Amino acid sequence: MAQAWRQFVIQTMFPATQVVTANADQNVLGKRKKKRRAEDHEVKPREDAPSKSARASHPAGLNKPLPVPERSLIGSSNPSLKPTVAYAIMGPRIRGKFDEQKAVALGLQRGPLRAKLSKGECVTVQVKDDNGNTFVREIKPEDCIGESVTPGVVLVLDTPTLGHIPGLISGFTDSEPFARYLWKYTEGCKEHVVRAVFHLCGENVLEDERYKVFMNDFGPEVHHIVASRRHLPNAVTFTSAAYSQLRLNQLDPSIFPVQKFSCNVEKAISNVCGLPAKTTIMRTNLLVDLHPPRPPAQNLDAEKYDIFHPAVSSNSFLDLPELTRTRYMEAQAAVQSDNRPQLEGLPGKDVMICPLGTGSAMPSKFRNVSATLIHIPDHGYILLDVGEGTWGQLARKFGDDPTMPSNVWQILRELKCIFISHMHGDHHIGLAKLLAMRQRLDPPADRPMYVVGNQQVFLYLREYAALEDLGLSPGSKNHMTQILVEAIHWANTAFSSNHLGYEASRDSISALGDLCASLGLESLRSVDVAHRTTCHGVIIKHTDGWSIVYSGDTIPTQKLVQAGENATLLIHEATMADDQVEMAAAKMHSTVGQAIDIGKRMKARNVLLTHFSARYPTMPPSVMTPQKPGDPTLALAFDHANIKIGDMWKMNAYMKAIEQSFIDLEDEGNDDTTQLAEVDIT
């Protein structure tokens, strides 16, 4: 089945070629053998291949989901009955040390024979005895090579609830593949040795007596690394980005809030009785060396770059360099002196834009990939694209403590709509995780969440749902409703999406009406934009009179200008600098200047630039150009910022201060920026 699907996909991707396989019975040596190998993979044009100018249609069935697995991996709706997976990672057997003196004594000199011996082969050499007679000696690997190092094993055990403990224990005691890792079966074993066990423990699991007995069954020499919410601090992992936000918090606390974290633990792991002696908590930058085996230890080279936690633990005012303080005060004075009375009564001025990911292609040190959260007061939230790690960004921004106000669970409950612009990974990989986390809401959300995307988005979700409950079925407690982006195109006046079918278009438009009612929207429409794959922007219009346009990934597109005319806010990608116009065109992206020009042609009031290339790890190319009367207000997006539409102008006033703050980070030696890699998302 898998091979048939693979062949189907290949033939669909490359319809003009076919693979010709040579006769497997040929037995030719030398050059003829090499020629046969080449012919095995010879690719020849098909006689019925379409012309290069013709666009081949997709074969029937391409957009149908894969068959449902015979055994459901989702399990019961009861969390304690949902299956989890344990992993055993076994390292290689490492050859023993080669004994040079023994080899010479046996007559084995340096050369290719030693290489064969090292590979486990026996070799023969001609040597002379004490009487000068020559004879042949066979040398075995064990004659010169020391005992090999037994392969090390690392186990990763996920035990999310107390209900999973019996199944985990029986999986080790009753199942041969995993029973061999327990001490009573492996003591003195030469096949493998367990070095470390990683325990991912849910609530109350670590302190359960059954689990502690199970941990001790691995023997006294195994190291146990534990992740348990009650026993770990909620420390920041990406400390450079958090430290940058901490500095900018002194510029404007409302726009740059400090990320949620905690260095305290509810109960120290040392106070948990009965754990194995070699138990430690899982921490960022913890190293576990398997060869040579060493106790888990912190990577001190990595920890020296953490200046965030020392800064917040000192409880003292963050000392800024003199020039930075000056830039901050100048920016703050400029904002205070310009109270913008004309913004009073502006429709949408309190709508909050929360960039969660402002980079492109792949996560970088200061910027995650695409995700922008919009808060409509008294109505809820809209999320534009969901790149990988979006759930982590949400949890770090709002905090995951359910007892705190406006925590991430409350945000998830009030999230009414997710819009996916296209199927490049940096825009959708985090979607399934977000939907899976939404299934944990208890009590359930009082209304469904609407996901707007193309057919491929929902095909991917349906197939992923075979592994994890995403709320796709109508009976799910936290149901998701799909809206096909093609059915809500801004130019559609009726059910004109004929390739979708009448019912699909009708259902999407009906669901759109419910979505608009829940968010107080007048309309939400898609617009096709020009990118390397099918991509859509979105135009959101509210009954209060404001509108937001999101470009997705695109080159400058006139359709977007027409569809979003007179927008209150344009959120536009600005991947490249203005000196990289050709590269931007080749990759089907926009430059900073092109994005600004779209805003001007659209007559947008505000333009927020985002989706910056990793070439600009801190500050993207400057947009501090003189503004003419009537030009839109320009702002750059930063991860974790809170920017009200009515405060968008402040970001422009703060730009020099923000730039100076990033310069300080480089001067302080905190510029260990990830090496730039050319990543081509096609």
Please tell me which of 263-267, 494-498, 512-516 the model is most confident about, judged by mean pLDDT.
Answer: 512-516
Is residue 40 one of the residues assigned to a domain? no
Q: Where are the alpha helices (DSSP H) in 48-140?
A: 100-105, 112-118
* 183-186 long-range Cβ contacts below 8 angstroms, 24+ apart: 183/217, 183/218, 183/219, 183/222, 184/217, 186/219
Tokens 């107080």, residue?
Answer: 520
The CATH number of residue 654's host domain is 3.60.15.10
Same domain, 386 and 260: no
DSSP of 345-411, one letter per residue?
A: T-TTTT-EEEEEE-BSSS--SS--SSEEEEEETTTEEEEE---TTHHHHHHHHH-S-TTSTT-HHHH
Say if residue 230's pLDDT is above 60: yes
Same domain, 245 and 375: no
DSSP of 397-449, one letter per residue?
A: HH-S-TTSTT-HHHHHHHEEEEE---S-HHHHTTHHHHHHHHTT-SSPPSSPE
User: pLDDT band for position 224 (50/70/90)?
Assistant: very high
Say if residue 73's pLDDT is above 50: yes
pLDDT given at position 42: 46
pLDDT given at position 499: 59
Both tokens of 129, joined, read 């005895």
Same domain, 408 and 269: no
More reliable by pLDDT, 112 or 185: 112
Residues in the chain, how many?
682
Which one, of 394, 393, 395, lies nearest residue 367 by Cα?
393
Q: What is the mean pLDDT of residues 114-137?
A: 89
Task: Give, for 179, the enclosing helix (H) or strand (E).
Answer: helix 176-179
DSSP state at residue 164 = G
For residue 409, the Cα-to-chain-centroid distance in whole angstroms is 20
Report how many domains make up the chain: 3
Instruction: Please count the other Cβ atoms lying within 10 Å of the Cβ belonging to residue 660.
Output: 20
Please tell me which of 5-19, 264-278, 607-621 the model is most confident about, judged by mean pLDDT.
Answer: 264-278
Confirm if 11 and 48 have CB atoms less than 8 A apart.
no
Same domain, 279 and 223: yes
Same domain, 588 and 520: yes
Q: What is the mean pLDDT of residues 399-404?
A: 91
Same domain, 623 and 507: yes
Give the whole-angstrom CA distance, residue 641 versus residue 639: 6
Task: Read off the amino acid at residue 272.
Answer: V
More reliable by pLDDT, 295 or 95: 295
Same domain, 89 and 106: no
Confirm if 540 and 560 have CB atoms less than 8 A apart.
no
* Cα→Cα distances 406→378, 413, 439, Å: 13, 10, 18
Range name among 297-301, 450-454, 562-566 with the lowest pLDDT average: 297-301
More reliable by pLDDT, 245 or 70: 245
Both tokens of 527, joined, read 């617009």
Among 258, 279, 313, the domain-final residue is 313
Same domain, 301 and 442: no
pLDDT digits (tens, 9 = 90+) for 367-390: 999 999 999 999 999 999 999 999
Q: What is the mean pLDDT of residues 363-368?
A: 94
pLDDT given at position 405: 86
Range name among 58-67, 621-630, 670-679 with the lowest pLDDT average: 670-679
pLDDT given at position 317: 64
Q: What is the mean pLDDT of residues 456-463?
A: 92
pLDDT given at position 313: 85
Give the whole-angstrom CA distance, residue 279 versus residue 233: 16
Edge-to-edge strands, sheet with 193-201: 87-90, 152-159, 193-201, 223-228, 279-281
Give the whole-angstrom CA distance, residue 294 versus residue 479: 48
Both tokens of 485, joined, read 């982006």
Same domain, 510 and 656: yes
Q: What is the mean pLDDT of residues 260-287?
A: 95
pLDDT given at position 340: 80
Confirm if 519 and 416 have CB atoms less than 8 A apart.
yes
Both tokens of 51, joined, read 């012309």
Task: Give, for 228, the enclosing helix (H) or strand (E).
Answer: strand 223-228
Task: Read off the amino acid at residue 324.
Answer: T
Q: What is the dihedral of CA 294, 295, 301, 304, to 10 degrees?
A: -170
Same domain, 140 and 251: no
Mean pLDDT of the chain: 87
Is residue 11 one of the residues assigned to a domain? no
User: Rg of the chain's alpha carbons, rounded to an integer?
Assistant: 31
Range name among 15-24, 469-478, 563-572 with the lowest pLDDT average: 15-24
Task: Read off the amino acid at residue 679.
Answer: V
- List of E strands, 56-166: 87-90, 123-128, 134-139, 152-159
Same domain, 161 and 194: yes
Among 313, 348, 379, the domain-final residue is 313
Is residue 130 one of the residues assigned to a domain? yes
Q: What is the mean pLDDT of residues 405-418?
A: 96
Give the whole-angstrom CA distance, residue 183 versus residue 203: 27
pLDDT digits (tens, 9 = 90+) for 538-580: 999 999 999 999 999 999 999 999 999 999 999 999 999 999 9
Confirm if 604 and 567 have CB atoms less than 8 A apart.
yes
Is residue 450 one of the residues assigned to a domain? yes
* Longest pairwise C-alpha distance within the chain: 110
Is residue 351 one of the residues assigned to a domain? yes
User: pLDDT band for position 178 (50/70/90)?
Assistant: confident
Edge-to-edge strands, sheet with 633-636: 521-529, 535-542, 547-550, 569-573, 606-610, 633-636
Confirm if 157 and 201 have CB atoms less than 8 A apart.
no
Q: What is the mean pLDDT of residues 400-428?
A: 95
Is residue 268 one of the residues assigned to a domain? yes
Find the domain containing 136 and state its range. 100-144
Among 313, 335, 364, the domain-final residue is 313
Is residue 7 one of the residues assigned to a domain? no
Confirm if 508 and 483 have CB atoms less than 8 A apart.
yes
Say if residue 180's pLDDT is above 90: no
Instruction: Please count the other Cβ atoms lying within 10 Å of the Cβ belonging to residue 653.
Output: 18
Confirm if 574 and 610 have CB atoms less than 8 A apart.
yes
Is residue 64 one of the residues assigned to a domain? no
Give the whole-angstrom CA distance, residue 172 versus residue 112: 45
For residue 352, the Cα-to-chain-centroid distance in whole angstroms is 24
More reliable by pLDDT, 15 or 193: 193
Q: Phi, psi at residue 419, to the nearest 5°?
A: -110, 125
Q: What is the mean pLDDT of residues 347-368?
A: 96
Residue 111's region, left for phi above 0, alpha for psi from -120 to 50, else beta, is: left
Confirm if 434 and 390 have CB atoms less than 8 A apart.
yes
* Cα→Cα distances 236→239, 390, 399, 422, 638, Å: 6, 15, 12, 31, 18
Q: What is the mean pLDDT of residues 252-264?
A: 96
Same domain, 159 and 293: yes
